[in-house]
Amino acid sequence: MNKASIDPPGCKDIDDALHCRVLENGNYEIGVHIADVTYYVKANSEIDRSNTIYLVHKRTDMLPKVLTENFCSLVSNQDRLAFSALWEIDRNSLEILNVNFAKTVIRSKASLTYQKAHEIMHDKNDKSELAESIRNLNKIARHIRKKRMDNGALILASNEVMIKYK
């Protein structure tokens, strides 16, 4: 199964990964996998009460670098602890049929930038499982977004600005 993370360029703390696969019954399974730090961070400990702080030019992580960038980062081709949400989606109506939550061990196949995921998704010659997974995730996301908008969802715009120094 082709799980992949999709993050901004230079991201070192890969805390989530996605997948979409076609089940034997023809429906889709979508998985969202979040890095599970509970093996390393015990409930109600001092570190459990910390937060990541974001400033204009820097960030202070709530967890030590060895955890955020290594043990708890869902880097590709490494087994990692995760908390996973798995949805079964009807192939035709794209409606949610079932949802499960579980502690899992995952092995991401790729760590992609937004640009690379976009290129893979639009490369008509790429018939790989990863490309099909990304295309199916996009198709289902568009359907869910349209349904939310049709039902009166509120759109809150946010312009995130990133400055690159050369």
Q: Where are the domains of the chain?
A: 4-150
- The pTM (predicted TM-score) of the whole model is 0.83
Predicted pLDDT at 12: 81
- Cβ(30)–Cβ(86) below 8 Å: yes
Tell me which DSSP letter residue 67 carries. I
Q: Give dist(CA 102, CA 130) in Å, integer.
A: 23
The residue behind tokens 């799980």 is 3
- How many alpha carbons fall within 13 Å on the CB side of residue 15? 8
Q: What is the pLDDT along the chain (166 residues), one digit of tens a residue?
A: 679 999 888 888 899 999 999 999 999 999 999 999 888 888 888 887 778 888 888 888 888 888 888 888 998 999 999 999 999 999 999 999 999 999 999 999 999 999 999 999 999 999 999 999 999 999 999 999 999 999 988 777 766 666 667 6
